Structure 1
Amino acid sequence: MLRQRTGPAPKSGARRGPAQLGHDRAGRPRVGGSFGVRGSFRAAVAAALAFSLTSCGVAAGSGGDLETVSGIPVASEVEAIEDPRSYQGQLSLELVDDPVEPIAADPVPQLPAVVTDNQGTQVEVTDVSRILPLDIYGTLSRMVYELGLGDNVIGRDISSSFPEISDLPLVTTDGHQLNAESILALNPSVIITDTSLGPWDVILQLRDAGVPVVVVDSHRSPENVEALTQAVGAALGLPDEGRELGERTRAQIVEAQEAIATITPESQTQQLRTVFLYARGSAGVYYMFGQDSGADELITAAGGYDVSSEVGWKGAKPANDEGLIAAQPDVIIMMNKGLESVGGVDGLLEKFPAMAQTPAGANERIISMNDDLVLSFGTRTPAVLNALAVALYAPDAL
């Protein structure tokens, strides 16, 4: 599903291409074309969770039914536009919820499970009947469900909003703050978390209360999801299932990237210069995500050119006009609610007037996506990469 920024009626004589879902600033529909096919994509990315590229619904296309991933056409079945840099207008992607596909129907955990977590702490897990997976991205909860232990999950963080978990009690407050009382009230038998949520004192309090807490890697990228999946599986007494799920996901990411390669220009000079902007207008929070933030690897895996490496923008730092001008992005990627919080594209340009001096600002070339998916690097990673690649290079196919 795609939401578009509305504009005035097309000018007389404007041409309409197939599957148009957006208009430029003058209200003209963009017209598709062709682009070079890449012979090989960047090295196969390891990991991200399970998602089948072949088991989703279909959407009507001009040449028949197109295979889709989370409601977005598969990249290999669409045609890239002739000049991606000339495309104008905002694309707001709303990926369709895909059902959890457990790697095993009734897995039997091997307990006790003794693991050394990412912080070097040895943790013994003797009971997985009441699991509480918590992180800022909602990645860990989906992993637990995909491992086949969804019925054992007792609560959720605010980013875990897929249908199967949405009715469970929320244990984070003010966005991503852990609440010790809410967590202890659920009487968890094991907590799987990382360092992305705080305050850290809450984790220490939970350990002091005798709850086994396994801390996994907080870094998220397409390259470490397999290892993360295996770590979660091992902590829950399902090492074989964790390994199988990781391998399944890796294969799906590779398949997604092979499809992405068909519409992505091989030369970096032809790839769209892209930055990731995180915004929460109500709180006055604006960050540009750069190297080692996960957003850089997301952009690269989706076929874009990560500008942060060129301009030396490391981690997540407050966005400013100088940084945006230096980056000269062709495209800006955001979260849907983040863009809405600043008043849409107009509000963003008002906040950062210098953005108009960049190709992305001049063309209002903003791609936004579900907040809980775009940086999750979990079960939905293949779908996220596919959607971004299509939005970058074949927007008229959406």
Structure 2
Amino acid sequence: MPTSGKPRQRRWHGRGAAVVALAVALLTSACGGGSGGATGADASPPSASERAVAAQKQLAKNSLVPLQGEPPESELPVTVDSSDGREVTVEDASRILPLNGGVAEIVFTLGLGDRVVGRDITATFEEAKDLPLVTKAHDVSAESVLSLRPTVVLADTDTGPSEAIDQIRDAGVPVVVLDPATELANVSTRTTRIAEALGVPEAGKALNSRIDKDLAAARAAVPEGSRPKVAFLYMRGSAAVYLMGGKGSGADSLIDAAGAVDAGVESGLDKPFTPLTSEALIKAQPDVILMMSKGLESVGGIDGLLDVPGIRETPAGQTRRVVTLEDGVLLSFGPRTPLVIDILVDRVHQA
């Protein structure tokens, strides 16, 4: 589970990259020019259900939509602040190795996917699937990383073990460490820092503009007067892990953006995750339960979930209202997050 962290201030030196043309909305690409992408003075904006259908189609492809136009050219060297307290100078971004799936999504969406030489186990999207894997379980293999001759490595403060990161750095490879993304506000910060480290700050601005536009359109589809209570449950049945999300879980910011109320936060859970009890569930009284798809599978689907003490006593349990999203997407906080909000807006507000 992610840990919270405040993004550090960063700086870069060198000339800005050539201006990248601002991309069209991601939803339009997902719709393929269908009803969701209608334009013109008399065209109505797509409904929540239309946006959700388009978002589901795009997520089903498990593919990314890069910025339009030619890939940006890096203008280097740049010196940036790393979240491990170091200043890191990047002189060459021709062989990029992101050690985090969310970071990799941003790199690919910036248009730099052809420079990526390897992947972390959490980079599960289609464009990355054939890249060499440099992790064993969730631990980074320094030997595997160095064998790919990266010119810059992007990690986050959760990446480890620390000995492997030190070994990569000691071999002369610049390692830029980022704070984990744990809420919606982190998306733009993370995109900016990655773009600056790779010498393409204008592409970062273009991507942030696109994400902001798509998020605003998703929020505009929230039905007026609807404020359902949504509980985020993190479950791994095989490991007997049953947790409820509270303040700082990451899901709380998504639920809020979708125009709903985080049931855990409202019931007083002031930690990101708290062991699940029937008393806590009954107190929270969620109208909707939000889960990762593999988490629901691990407890035997909706029927198995209803056997968890307290679930049947909630409005969500009584109406079987459970919303799931793929594990690698729900809390990724990256370029595909607007699609997550589109789906949540539609599903959590359904009668």
Amino acid at match of 1:128: A
Whole-Å separation in 2 of the counterparts to 1:204 and 1:104: 37
* Structure 1, unaligned runs of 5 or more: 1-48, 60-64, 69-73, 80-92
Distance 1:77 1:300, change over 3 A: closer
User: Hey, what does 2:291 align to over in structure 1?
Assistant: 334
Do the aligned residues in 1 keep the contact of 2:48 with 2:218 (CA within 8 Å)?
A: no
Whole-Å separation in 2 of the counterparts to 1:185 and 1:284: 38
Instruction: Classify the secondary structure of the residue corresponding to 1:288.
Output: strand
Trace 1:308-323 onto structure 2 (pairs within 5 A): 308-313=264-269, 314-323=271-280
Whole-Å separation in 1 of the counterparts to 2:24 and 2:335: 5
Match for 1:325 among 264, 272, 282? Answer: 282
Amino acid at match of 2:284: A
Whole-Å separation in 1 of the counterparts to 2:259 and 2:192: 27
From the two aligned structures, give the one with the greater helix fraction.
2
Do the aligned residues in 1 keep the contact of 2:151 with 2:173 (CA within 8 Å)?
A: yes
Instruction: Classify the secondary structure of the residue corresponding to 2:348.
Output: helix
Instruction: Classify the secondary structure of the residue corresponding to 1:164.
Output: helix
Moved more, 99-108 or 138-147: 99-108
Give how far 1:386 is off: 0.5
Structure 1 residue 53 corresponds to structure 2 residue 27: yes
Do the aligned residues in 1 keep the contact of 2:64 with 2:108 (CA within 8 Å)?
A: no
Instruction: Classify the secondary structure of the residue corresponding to 2:123.
Output: coil
User: Hey, what does 1:305 align to over in structure 2?
Assistant: 261
Whole-Å separation in 2 of the counterparts to 1:50 and 1:142: 18
Match for 1:130 among 60, 76, 95? Answer: 95
Amino acid at match of 2:152: V
Match for 1:113 among 78, 89, 92? Answer: 78
Whole-Å separation in 2 of the counterparts to 1:323 and 1:165: 40
Match for 1:349 among 306, 309, 316? Answer: 306
Do the aligned residues in 2 keep the contact of 1:104 with 1:241 (CA within 8 Å)?
A: no
Whole-Å separation in 1 of the counterparts to 2:108 and 2:259: 29
Give how far 1:221 is off: 2.1
Do the aligned residues in 2 keep the contact of 1:334 with 1:368 (CA within 8 Å)?
A: yes
Give how far 1:321 is off: 2.4
User: Hey, what does 2:159 align to over in structure 1?
Assistant: 197
TM-score by length of 1: 0.73
Do the aligned residues in 1 keep the contact of 2:96 with 2:116 (CA within 8 Å)?
A: yes
Whole-Å separation in 1 of the counterparts to 2:25 and 2:336: 6
Instruction: Classify the secondary structure of the residue corresponding to 1:170.
Output: coil
Give the superposed CA RMSD.
2.5
User: Hey, what does 2:60 align to over in structure 1?
Assistant: 96
Give how far 1:50 is off: 8.4
Instruction: Classify the secondary structure of the residue corresponding to 2:188.
Output: helix
Trace 1:153-192 onto structure 2 (pairs within 5 A): 153-174=116-137, 176-192=138-154
Give how far 1:105 is off: 1.8
Do the aligned residues in 2 keep the contact of 1:50 with 1:245 (CA within 8 Å)?
A: no
Match for 2:102 among 139, 146, 161? Answer: 139
Whole-Å separation in 1 of the counterparts to 2:192 and 2:24: 13
Whole-Å separation in 2 of the counterparts to 1:120 and 1:236: 19
Structure 1 residue 366 corresponds to structure 2 residue 322: yes
Do the aligned residues in 2 keep the contact of 1:281 with 1:338 (CA within 8 Å)?
A: yes
Match for 1:236 among 194, 198, 215? Answer: 198
Deviations 1:210-233 (A, max 9, x none): 221111121332222112111000
Moved more, 200-209 or 276-285: 200-209
Distance 1:103 1:204, change over 3 A: farther
Give how far 1:342 is off: 1.7
Do the aligned residues in 2 keep the contact of 1:75 with 1:389 (CA within 8 Å)?
A: no
Do the aligned residues in 1 keep the contact of 2:277 with 2:309 (CA within 8 Å)?
A: no
Amino acid at match of 1:218: P
Do the aligned residues in 2 keep the contact of 1:196 with 1:218 (CA within 8 Å)?
A: yes
Whole-Å separation in 2 of the counterparts to 1:102 and 1:237: 16
Distance 1:354 1:139, change over 3 A: same
Identity of counterpart residues, as a percentage?
Answer: 45
Whole-Å separation in 1 of the counterparts to 2:285 and 2:178: 36
Distance 1:183 1:107, change over 3 A: same
User: Hey, what does 2:245 align to over in structure 1?
Assistant: 289
Do the aligned residues in 2 keep the contact of 1:177 with 1:198 (CA within 8 Å)?
A: yes
Give how far 1:171 is off: 2.1
Deviations 1:294-331 (A, max 9, x none): 11001111121112222222112332323222211111
1 or 2 for the larger relative contact order (CA 8 Å, sep ≥6)? 1
Match for 1:248 among 191, 210, 220? Answer: 210
Amino acid at match of 2:233: L
Whole-Å separation in 2 of the counterparts to 1:75 and 1:373: 23
Deviations 1:102-129 (A, max 9, x none): 3552321111111012333100111112
Give how far 1:167 is off: 1.0
Deviations 1:145-195 (A, max 9, x none): 111210010111222222111111222332x33233322222221111212
Match for 1:76 among 47, 61, 81? Answer: 47
Distance 1:199 1:382, change over 3 A: same
Amino acid at match of 2:147: A
User: Hey, what does 1:27 align to over in structure 2?
Assistant: none
Distance 1:288 1:211, change over 3 A: farther
Whole-Å separation in 1 of the counterparts to 2:210 and 2:32: 22
Do the aligned residues in 1 keep the contact of 2:35 with 2:46 (CA within 8 Å)?
A: no
TM-score by length of 2: 0.82
Distance 1:394 1:251, change over 3 A: same
Whole-Å separation in 1 of the counterparts to 2:46 and 2:276: 31
